[in-house]
Chains A and B, each alone.
Chain A
Amino acid sequence: MTKTIIPFGPQHPVLPEPIHLKLTLEDEVITEAIPAFGFVHRGLEKLVEIRDFHQMIYVVERICGICSMLHAMCYCQGIEEMMGIEVPPRARFLRVIWSELHRMHSHLLWLGLFADSFGFESLFMQFWKIREKILDIDEATTGNRIIVSVNVIGGVRKDLGTEQTSMILSALKDVEKELQWLETTIMSDYTVQKRTVGKGILTGKQAYELGLVGPTLRASGVAQDARMLGYAAFGDINFTPVVETDGDCYARCKVRFREVFQSIDLIRQAIGKLPNGEIAVKVKGRPNGEVVTRVEQPRGEVFYYIKANGTKNLERLRVRTPTFANVPALLTMLPGAWLSDVPVIVLSIDPCISCTER
């Protein structure tokens, strides 16, 4: 049969960010997919040469427009480990609260985009309507909706008062209620199931061998989550990763939907156990040495390598983002799939291209 090559992206209605896929088709079935990157590369890692290690917090936050707080947290964690700084307990719990709020709004954004990828536009609007409440919490507590800039080396910049914690809890109650209304739609609707069940299946073994991370890996039955390392205050609260076993697009959707509820629970636990005390310690000296640090972003595990030489500028910063680890999944899932399922399968890994290209 004659082969046809179809370019998918870099500009495509379903793609939030530019990625190019060269799809080879036989009839309507894909036989090969070759990705191409480099449309939004900004060279942020190179900025370590002209920005000092404190200023880099605000640079790494801008690697991603969705999980900005977790980039800054990972970076600060690395520098703190290198300099031997003990973060105050209150700051560790506050980091958990803001990082889980970020996970919630990222997953709600994805759930909306995912619904949009199979044409369920009213569901997309519903999720984004709920997401606004989380963004309002972010703005009220940190001063900005997405780029919260709360992390500093040695702790956090902002504190939460009693009024703010009760505001968060009451807003989360509303969010939980509204999400429960949508639970039957996303979990058992005919349209959603028809477009997602059995599409882009990855077995647990395949997912593990491809080195996948985050919800893409956990939807294939592998219980692996960087939060199990107990960074920030995750060691002090009850946490079990959300796992599904089917390994298809529907399972990945379920993992993310359940993780939103899990994040609500984690925030409640963190607020319940929030200790009193300082929110930051003073930093003296300059970092020297090298460190590898990891945190769990909404899309999976992010990995930072930091090398410093005792000057105010770092020597090297290397970021491995979760989407970079999850792209190999596309190359396994797409061959054999129908062309009409490509948007659903591509979005099921929650691609964040600006993260990947930095």
Chain B
Amino acid sequence: MFNMTPAILRNFLGDRATRRYPHVIRPSFENARGAIHNDIHICTFCGVCAAKCPSQCIAVEKKAATWSYNPSACVCCGVCAESCASGSLQQERNYRKPFREKEMIVLKGTSSSAVNDTVSISAPAQP
């Protein structure tokens, strides 16, 4: 009848099992798959990331030298970062912060990859 009592006593005497989130945030593990970050200065606009992305959230235009990314559609699988030959795409260990409005991240560089102008603009996400 009182089989649960030892477990309840242990819970009373032991450490708390939960954290006071958001005041206490557990750091992500070393290999955690979080947000995607593109260093547009070394991006070659080869388009492999866009071709491999399973959720098709990346679009690359070589002529216009733009790399656009829809973070709301990204599933953080990390395939793009793994297949990036130039090493410009990196996957951070921390997750992207929650956001109120959906946005499209558009990065502009030059097709020769020697960047002289980098612009980050926000635009409404594609439906």
Contacts and interface: CB of A to CB of B under 8 A. Distances in A.
Interface of A: 51, 54-59, 62, 122-123, 126, 129, 132, 136, 139-144, 147, 149, 157-158, 181-182, 184-185, 188-190
B4 A122 contact: yes
Q: Which of B28, B33, B54 has the most CB of A within 10 A?
A: B54
Interface of B: 1, 3-4, 6-8, 10, 17, 28-33, 52-55, 75-79, 82
Contacts, number: 58
A58 B3 contact: no
A149 B77 contact: yes
Contacts of A139: 28-29, 32
B54 A185 contact: no
A55 B52 contact: yes
A161 to B, nearest CB: 11
Contacts of B52: 54-55
Question: Which 8 residue pairs across A and B have the least CB separation, nearest first?
Answer: A143-B33, A58-B54, A55-B54, A185-B3, A140-B29, A143-B31, A184-B3, A189-B3
Contacts of A188: 3
Nearest to A138: B29
Contact of B4 (A55, A158, A189): A189
Contact of B31 (A55, A62, A158, A190): A158
Given A143-B32, A185-B3, A185-B4, 11 more contacts: A54-B52, A55-B53, A57-B54, A58-B75, A122-B7, A122-B8, A126-B7, A140-B30, A149-B33, A149-B78, A184-B3
A139 B29 CA distance: 7
A147 B30 CA distance: 17
Given A142-B31, A143-B31, A190-B1, A58 B7 contact: no
A181 B1 contact: no
B6 A181 contact: yes
B74 to A, nearest CB: 11
A86 to B, nearest CB: 23
A90 to B, nearest CB: 18
B17 A129 contact: yes
Nearest to B18: A129
14 contacts: A51-B54, A55-B52, A122-B7, A126-B7, A129-B17, A140-B30, A143-B29, A144-B33, A149-B78, A181-B6, A181-B7, A185-B4, A189-B3, A189-B4
A185 B54 CA distance: 44
Contact of A58 (B17, B28, B79): B79
Contacts of A122: 4, 7-8
B78 to A, nearest CB: 7
Contacts of A62: 75
Given A58-B54, A182-B7, A141 B79 contact: no
